[in-house]
Structure 1
């Protein structure tokens, strides 16, 4: 029991990483109705981008984070334009098969370019070590991860519920023909939405190098975890995956500590229990289109 506060803290930090990567998958699955099992590949791209900029140019770790977001987002935009957009109207089975093939291709490419070894980054001194609060040792970097999730969650919530772009995304998904009739460029909106999701995955991948590790098998190793967060939390929402990632993170860390023989089995038991209790996910709310007037969907013409 003495270890419980520290385990809860580590679980929340681990859940924060899961959320950062998984929220983009929630966007593409829930709002765009596209099952992108290659989402972890873009997280891996962000992680390798951070490592490459750090090692090649000697950039500080924090300075590589925006670059990791940009590189992964750009890779997502290109992949969406060249490959994925042709599958939006395809069956879910076709989407799954294609994106799984994309994962294995990304693993081969990462092995060829960076080798099979684990990668590392150098954290700034301010994020190293621990601080003590109420008798509990808290890792500074894990505190940073939790704080980053709070800020990014608030920003994404505002983006999807209080801006023209968020309204356009939901309108394009709810009724594509009507949105196009209003003059909305649905293809561009989907591309930007996909780029935003993959950029968030890349940022999560860069932040996770120190905690999750980084090697060419990253995209496949954590694919199930990212999918679990979205399935349990409910696709197309922000609050659902946030709560699900924290629950899964805490239970996974605590399970491996108290029942190391069970390994990762605990998280699958939790998933089964939650899905039996909430067959459609936690369902904590999807942003409503009615929060914004219809006129905000398109630019006013003079």
Structure 2
């Protein structure tokens, strides 16, 4: 019984921490794809760049981990704003195929750049000492680092809820998406709203890539490797549904962790089998009400 409780605790806690990293990364795509109607398949590239910046400045310049994360988010936000004005602005309202081809192309450019500057192998990360220990939960020990990730995930959840539900920016973004022409008539700068929203989405991807580097290893193919899981979180959430994306991301994290823990030799495939079944049974979203 004690062994079963310990195993269940491991699956739940590790699954939740893994799921929250997926949530932080994917929620940015929920914003750009679900709310702004942009098929941004380069979203994983922003997460990868954020992770590489954070680990790079820690390793090469000795910058503390919190400041490295801030630098990663700031750097990616600045880059994304430039790309939004130069590239993505031309994709608003464009056919989905054009959006997919353009953003996939950006992914391969980033993959090539990461390979040139950081090499083709996994980029090692050394977490600060205060995140490397364990906490005794009574049933089993649990990594401090994963508790930190869970805390950061909950902070992001609360922050996004406040921003989109309790501030004027959330209302402006929904108005700009639903009827940009009328929104401009009432004096709202739609371009500025989209720039801010795109920057927030990209910054969240960078945050997930930076704090999640200890779980999702940094490698040049990172933008494509985790793209499937991120897209599934977005699709099963129902496009634009930020509340459901949290539940789906945590569910994906728990299922993947359980599969790898209970069936190590086959665990890596279980999550994809489950996801295919769910996509077939609930293509409109796992928590979306079926049309009558």
TM-score (norm 1): 0.90
Q: 1:119–1:209: 8 Å Cα contact kept in structure 2?
A: no
Q: Which residue of 1 aligns with 2:41?
A: 37
Alpha-carbon distance in structure 2 between the residues aligned to 1:237 and 1:254: 26
Q: 1:239–1:284: 8 Å Cα contact kept in structure 2?
A: no
Q: Which residue of 2 aligns with 1:105?
A: 109
Alpha-carbon distance in structure 1 between the residues aligned to 2:186 and 2:99: 29
Alpha-carbon distance in structure 2 between the residues aligned to 1:16 and 1:178: 37
CA apart distance, 1:251: 0.4
3-state SS of paired residue (1:93): helix
What is the 5 A alignment of 1:176-191?
A: 176-191=180-195
Q: 1:120–1:214: 8 Å Cα contact kept in structure 2?
A: yes
Alpha-carbon distance in structure 1 between the residues aligned to 2:167 and 2:105: 35
Q: 2:149–2:212: 8 Å Cα contact kept in structure 1?
A: no
Q: Which residue of 2 aligns with 1:9?
A: 13
Alpha-carbon distance in structure 2 between the residues aligned to 1:129 and 1:284: 40
Q: Which residue of 1 aligns with 2:258?
A: 254
CA apart distance, 1:238: 1.7
Alpha-carbon distance in structure 1 between the residues aligned to 2:45 and 2:239: 19
Q: Does 2:163 align with 1:163?
A: no
Let me know the Cα RMSD of the aligned residues: 1.5
1:89-119 C-alpha deviation (Å, 9 max, x unpaired): 1111111111111101100011112222322
CA apart distance, 1:123: 1.8
Q: 2:32–2:38: 8 Å Cα contact kept in structure 1?
A: yes
3-state SS of paired residue (2:41): coil
Q: Does 2:247 align with 1:243?
A: yes
Q: Does 2:266 align with 1:269?
A: no
Q: 1:54–1:64: 8 Å Cα contact kept in structure 2?
A: yes
Q: Which residue of 2 aligns with 1:288?
A: none
Q: Which residue of 1 aligns with 2:80?
A: 76
Q: Which residue of 2 aligns with 1:95?
A: 99
CA apart distance, 1:198: 0.4
Q: Which residue of 119, 124, 128 maps to 2:128? A: 124
CA apart distance, 1:277: 4.4
Q: Which residue of 2 aligns with 1:292?
A: none
Unaligned runs of 5+ in 1: 286-302
CA apart distance, 1:122: 2.6
Q: 1:120–1:209: 8 Å Cα contact kept in structure 2?
A: no
Alpha-carbon distance in structure 2 between the residues aligned to 1:8 and 1:260: 17
CA apart distance, 1:284: 6.3
Q: Does 2:135 align with 1:147?
A: no
CA apart distance, 1:188: 1.3
Q: Which residue of 260, 279, 282 maps to 1:278? A: 282
3-state SS of paired residue (2:215): helix
CA apart distance, 1:124: 2.1
CA apart distance, 1:161: 1.0
3-state SS of paired residue (1:131): strand
